[in-house]
Amino acid sequence: MKFAIIGSRGQLGQDLIRTSPSKVELTTFTHADFDITDREDVFDFLAGEEKFDIVINTAAFHKTDLCEDEPQKAFVVNAVGVKNLVEACEKAGSVLVHISTDYVFDGGKLSKKEPYYEDDIPNPINIYGISKLAGENVVKNYLEKYYIVRSSSLYGVAGASGKGGNFPYTILRKAKAGEKLKVVDDIYMVPTHTYDLAQGIWRLVLEEHPYGIYHITHTGYCSWYEFAKKILELANIEAFIEPVSHKEFRTKARRPLWSVLGTKKGIDLGPWVEGLKKFIECINVEDL
Ligand SMILES: NC(=O)c1ccc[n+]([C@@H]2O[C@H](COP(=O)([O-])OP(=O)(O)OC[C@H]3O[C@@H](n4cnc5c(N)ncnc54)[C@H](OP(=O)(O)O)[C@@H]3O)[C@@H](O)[C@H]2O)c1
């Protein structure tokens, strides 16, 4: 089976490569190879002479605050770019696996502390989420053979280039530099290790689950403060860390206070702490 991975230098892209089963024939595309917003390039690479059974798109404009300042770019990458991929996949007969986000939800389930499932109705409250939902709608309304995989709060060994790393790296670097940490304790999510997510995506596709929307994250949930505490504990680093309310941090984009995903479709990645343990074992904290 021939697979293409788009965004292959990213943290999820790297872990999709690292975890790819031997029976899979893999072609990887970085941002330098082509930009998903360039329709002609997308068709050349995905629907030209070489065609793929499955295309996995991890590329996105996902700097949440910057999306508020650059809504046009957010829609061009996260929706128009996705339309290009959809049309190329349609032409080539490929299945599209498109990665989306917990930020398509508004956080209203905080009062019940109940996860968002695949059949919950999205209502994004920032431009990033709105543009990602637009991308999802393009996929599901223009293509028959698709998987939309929503996940949350990703971290992987490669780090997200667009965000200059990821949350665990930031916490570890600041703690090692002796900075006092203030971390939000009233926003909840499921931290998800891209290594495990990548394995979940391979399962989804290779076990031929029915097409549609899937939530794939670890299980359980925590606040960003609880996540930071666990990162420091597992890395054995002492730091001064203070829980604060999101009201203390003014950010351009509003964020859902609760974006915990759950699944009714059977693929979960096990407890979030286990994913974090694996991550800490894989990195060299000394070198950060
Ligand atoms: N990070 C999170 O916390 C999070 C949470 C939930 C869902 N997601 C979703 O998960 C997916 C993967 O996230 P990630 O954390 O692995 O991101 P990442 O590390 O930033 O990787 C994304 C990759 O896509 C490339 N890319 C960006 N724009 C592109 C374009 N227009 N054309 C072609 N390639 C482009 C980037 O290259 P350059 O860096 O060179 O631009 C980067 O290598 C995204 O769809 C994101 O929306 C992320």
Q: Whose CA is nearest to atom 48 of ligand 1?
A: 154
228 located within any domain:
no
Measuring from atom 30 of ligand 1, which residue has the nearest CA? 35
Residue 212 pairs in a beta bridge with: 147
The pLDDT, as a whole number, for residue 249 is 87
Most informative mutation of 41, 58, 127 for ligand 1 (most atoms within 8 A of CB): 58
Residue 46 resides in a domain: yes
Q: Kindly give, in sequence order, each residue whose CB lies less than 8 Å from that of residue 148, ignoring residues fewer than 6 positions away.
A: 98, 100, 136, 139, 140, 212, 213, 214
- Please report whether residue 229 resides in a domain: no
Q: Is residue 156 part of a domain?
A: yes
Which residues, other chains included, contact 2 with Cβ-Cβ below 8 Å and sequence gap of 6+? 25, 27, 50, 51, 52, 53, 54
Q: What letter represents residue 61's amino acid?
A: F
Please give the single-letter amino acid code of residue 2.
K
pLDDT attached to residue 161? 65
Give the domain CATH number at 63: 3.40.50.720
For ligand 1, whether the C-beta of 10 sits within 6 Å is yes
What range does the domain containing 174 cover? 2-222+250-287
Q: Return d(Cα 109, Cα 221) in angstroms, integer.
A: 13
- Are 218 and 192 a contacting pair, CB within 8 Å? yes
Beta strands 154-155 and 192-193, pairing class: parallel
Quote the ligand 1 centre to 85 CA distance (angstroms).
Answer: 15
pLDDT given at position 201: 98
The verdict on residue 76 lying in a domain is yes
**Best of 9, 64, 150 for a ligand 1 pocket test (most atoms within 8 Å of beta carbon):** 9
Ordered DSSP codes for the chain: -EEEEESTTSHHHHHHHHT--TT-EEEEE-TTT--TT-HHHHHHHHHSSSB-SEEEE------HHHHHH-HHHHHIIIIIHHHHHHHHHHHHT-EEEEEEEGGGS-SGGGGTT-PBPTTSPP---SHHHHHHHHHHHHHHHH-SSEEEEEE-SEE-TT-BGGGTB-HHHHHHHHHHTTPPEEEESS-EE--EEHHHHHHHHHHHHHTTPPSEEEE---BS-EEHHHHHHHHHHHHT----EEEE-GGGS--SS---SB--B--SSS----BHHHHHHHHHHHS-GGG-
pLDDT at 250: 87
| pLDDT tens-digit profile, the chain (288 residues) | 999 999 999 999 999 999 999 999 999 999 999 999 999 999 999 999 999 999 999 999 999 999 999 999 999 999 999 999 999 999 999 999 999 999 999 999 999 999 999 999 999 999 999 999 999 999 999 999 999 999 999 999 998 765 668 999 999 999 999 999 999 999 999 999 999 999 999 999 999 999 999 999 999 999 999 999 999 999 999 999 999 999 998 899 999 999 999 999 989 999 999 999 999 999 988 888
**pLDDT, position 111:** 95
Is there a domain that residue 120 lies in? yes
pLDDT of residue 160: 77
CB contact at 8 A, 9 and 31: yes
What's the domain count of the chain?
A: 1
* Residue at 177 is within a domain: yes
Per the domain annotation, does 159 fall within a domain?
yes
